[in-house]
Structure 1
Amino acid sequence: MQYKNLGRSGLRVSQLSYGAWVTFGNQLDVKEAKVLLQACRDAGVNFFDNAEVYANGRAEEIMGQAIRDLGWRRSDVVISTKLFWGGQGPNDKGLSRKHVVEGLRGSLRRLALDYVDVVYCHRPDASTPVEETVRAMNWVIDQGWAFYWGTSEWSAQQITEAWAVANRLDLVGPIVEQPEYNLFSRHKVESEFLPLYSTYGIGLTTWSPLASGVLSGKYGKGDIPADSRFALDNYKNLANRSLVDDTLRKVNGLKPIAAELGVSLAQLSIAWCASNPNVSSVITGATKESQIVENMKALDVIPLLTPEVVDRIEAVVQSKPKRNVESYR
């Protein structure tokens, strides 16, 4: 396992990480979670991602219980959570000071931790002044409840505004963004965010490297495995949007490239994400120990991604964004 700095910070995170979205609380409970988390640690993973909204808080409870049962030393792992959707009340969601403080307290209680290493703003909040959110994030850091803060699915403009407030008030700005990034979703990472990497030292912990499993190659038109996330009632709309003819045609076009390299399509897709120098960690998901073992082998695929191989991949997916970048300085 390789470890990279999270953006311009001194925090070191594993190049591949594990996220609890979908799985913990929906498909897995504590017993299964312990097996998966230990398999990750055995592979060198030190970064584990969660959110208050995952399984309505149950994902945090499962992760916290599993970590306690496994007896891990707290300093050996990096734990993150995300705040935005905390409940049904008018102040149980968003990025107000009230919800940031109460939401993080709730997350720490469910995780049974004194602090998280990184707390993210899970989405931008148009109804809360960005200065209020920046001040709130700095307050929870000052309390020792988190060491760093970041954003998830924010625009470059919104991140720039947060940094402008932080600089004006001599506060800590967001050091990391968590965007979707895979062979079918590239614009933010490869185009929109380009000025942020050098100006603010933003790191990336990217999610959905397999495009919700589509890039694993296990799905076909009308073919959805019973144990997959697309078989869950909550994800059937996503399945309908994702499993379109053009996407499946491109997935099939990638399979020969993976076969020639002697790797799985999932390993090729994860390696492609991890090879981007601006990506600090690729968040992977898995419901089986065997999937984690296979996913971790993606690190061995990165050296195989020669310019020629990358060009062949581009010719199939045809998703490379135009790099007409606005300046957000």
Structure 2
Amino acid sequence: MQYKNLGRSGLKVSQLSYGAWVTFGNQLDVKEAKSILQCCRDNGVNFFDNAEVYANGRAEEIMGQAIKELGWKRSDPVISTKIFWGGQGPNDKGLSRKHIIEGTKNSLKRLDMEYVDVLYCHRPDIMTPIEETVRAMNYVIDKGWAYYWGTSEWSAQQITEAWAVAERLDLVGPIVEQPEYNLLSRHKVELEYLPLYNNYGIGLTTWSPLASGVLTGKYNSGNIPPDSRFALENYKNLASRSLIDDVLKKVNGLKPIAEELGVPLSQLAIAWCASNPNVSSVITGATKESQVSLIICSYARKFSFFQEIKLNSKYR
């Protein structure tokens, strides 16, 4: 496994990481989570991502309990979580000082941890002044509840505004952004964020490298496998937006490239994301150890293949 600095920080994260979205609390409980997490770690993964909203907090509980039962030393894994959607009350969501502080404390309680390594603002909050959010995130860092903070699905302008506030007040700015990035979704990472990389040293921990499984090719027949995320009741709307003819045609067009390289389409898609120099870590998901083996273990064995993807303009 290769390790990269998270943006311009000194924190090192595995180039492939594991995220709890959809899986923990929806498809996996503690026993299965322990198996998946240990398989990831055995193959060099040190970065694990979560959020207060995943399975209404249950994902954090499962991850925390699984890590505790596995007996991991807390300083070994890099753990992140995200704050924005914490409940139904008027102050249980957003990026106010109140919710950031209370939401972080609640996340740490569910994780059964004293701190997370990275805390993200899960979405921008246009109803809260950015200065209030920047000050609150720095308060969390000063308390030792998080070591670094970042954003997720913010615009380049919003991140720039956050950094302007941080620099004016001599505070810590966001070091990382977590956007969707895959072969079907490229604009933000490759165009909109370009000024951020040099100006602020922003790193990326990207999510959905397989476009929720679409880039594996398993949906091209038009059928939805019963054990897939699109079969879950909460994700049927996502399926209806993703499984359209134009998208499936693009996926079919990628198959000859994967065949030429002699790798599964899923590996091609993940390798392509990881080859972007501004991506610190690609967040993957899996419900079975066999999927971890296919996605993560194969990466460790085939780093030269990833280098080929990075260097060959044919695959850009």
Change (3 A) 1:217 1:298: farther
- In the alignment, the residues of structure 2 paired with residue 202 and residue 304 of structure 1 have an alpha-carbon distance, to the nearest angstrom, of 25
- In the alignment, the residues of structure 2 paired with residue 148 and residue 2 of structure 1 have an alpha-carbon distance, to the nearest angstrom, of 21
- How far is 1:257 from its partner? 1.5
- In the alignment, the residues of structure 2 paired with residue 242 and residue 187 of structure 1 have an alpha-carbon distance, to the nearest angstrom, of 17
Offset from partner CA, 1:36-65 (integer Å, 9 cap, x none): 000100110000000000000000000000
Contact 2:276 2:310 in 1 (8 A): no
Q: Does 1:304 align with 2:308?
A: yes
- In the alignment, the residues of structure 2 paired with residue 154 and residue 6 of structure 1 have an alpha-carbon distance, to the nearest angstrom, of 17
Secondary structure, aligned partner of 2:75: helix
Contact 2:272 2:310 in 1 (8 A): no
Offset from partner CA, 1:181-204 (integer Å, 9 cap, x none): 000100000000000000000000
Q: Does 1:123 align with 2:126?
A: no
- In the alignment, the residues of structure 2 paired with residue 36 and residue 218 of structure 1 have an alpha-carbon distance, to the nearest angstrom, of 22
Structure 2 unpaired stretches of 5+: none
Q: Name the residue aligned to 1:92.
A: 92
Change (3 A) 1:256 1:166: same
Contact 1:208 1:284 in 2 (8 A): yes
- How far is 1:298 from its partner? 3.4
Contact 1:268 1:298 in 2 (8 A): no
- How far is 1:303 from its partner? 2.4
Q: Name the residue aligned to 2:256.
A: 256
Alignment of 1:72-151 (within 5 A): 72-151=72-151
Q: Aligned partner of 1:264: which letter? A: P
Offset from partner CA, 1:65-102 (integer Å, 9 cap, x none): 00000001111110000000000000000000000000
- In the alignment, the residues of structure 2 paired with residue 298 and residue 247 of structure 1 have an alpha-carbon distance, to the nearest angstrom, of 26
Q: Name the residue aligned to 2:7.
A: 7
Q: Name the residue aligned to 1:322.
A: none
Secondary structure, aligned partner of 2:117: strand
Change (3 A) 1:159 1:78: same
Q: Name the residue aligned to 1:212.
A: 212
Offset from partner CA, 1:213-265 (integer Å, 9 cap, x none): 00011112431100000001111111111111121112112112212212110
Contact 1:221 1:244 in 2 (8 A): no
Q: Aligned partner of 1:252: which letter? A: N
Q: Which 4+ residue blocks in structure 1 deviate beyond 3 angstroms?
A: none
- In the alignment, the residues of structure 2 paired with residue 250 and residue 213 of structure 1 have an alpha-carbon distance, to the nearest angstrom, of 14
Q: Which moved more, 1:145-154 or 1:296-305?
A: 296-305
Contact 2:97 2:132 in 1 (8 A): yes
Alignment of 1:173-188 (within 5 A): 173-188=173-188
- In the alignment, the residues of structure 2 paired with residue 84 and residue 132 of structure 1 have an alpha-carbon distance, to the nearest angstrom, of 14
Q: Aligned partner of 1:298: which letter? A: Y
Superposition TM-score, scaled by structure 1 size: 0.93
Q: Aligned partner of 1:280: which letter? A: S
- In the alignment, the residues of structure 2 paired with residue 152 and residue 120 of structure 1 have an alpha-carbon distance, to the nearest angstrom, of 6
- In the alignment, the residues of structure 2 paired with residue 118 and residue 179 of structure 1 have an alpha-carbon distance, to the nearest angstrom, of 15
Instruction: Please tell me the root mean square deviation across aligned C-alpha atoms, in Å.
Output: 1.1
Q: Aligned partner of 2:133: which letter? A: T
Q: Does 1:270 align with 2:270?
A: yes
Q: Name the residue aligned to 2:59.
A: 59
Offset from partner CA, 1:266-316 (integer Å, 9 cap, x none): 0000000000000000000001101011111235230232655x52x56xx
- In the alignment, the residues of structure 2 paired with residue 25 and residue 97 of structure 1 have an alpha-carbon distance, to the nearest angstrom, of 28
Contact 1:20 1:54 in 2 (8 A): yes
Q: Percent identity?
A: 79
Contact 1:181 1:189 in 2 (8 A): yes
- In the alignment, the residues of structure 2 paired with residue 130 and residue 243 of structure 1 have an alpha-carbon distance, to the nearest angstrom, of 36
- In the alignment, the residues of structure 2 paired with residue 307 and residue 71 of structure 1 have an alpha-carbon distance, to the nearest angstrom, of 40
Q: Name the residue aligned to 1:191.
A: 191
Contact 2:177 2:203 in 1 (8 A): yes
- In the alignment, the residues of structure 1 paired with residue 246 and residue 236 of structure 2 have an alpha-carbon distance, to the nearest angstrom, of 19
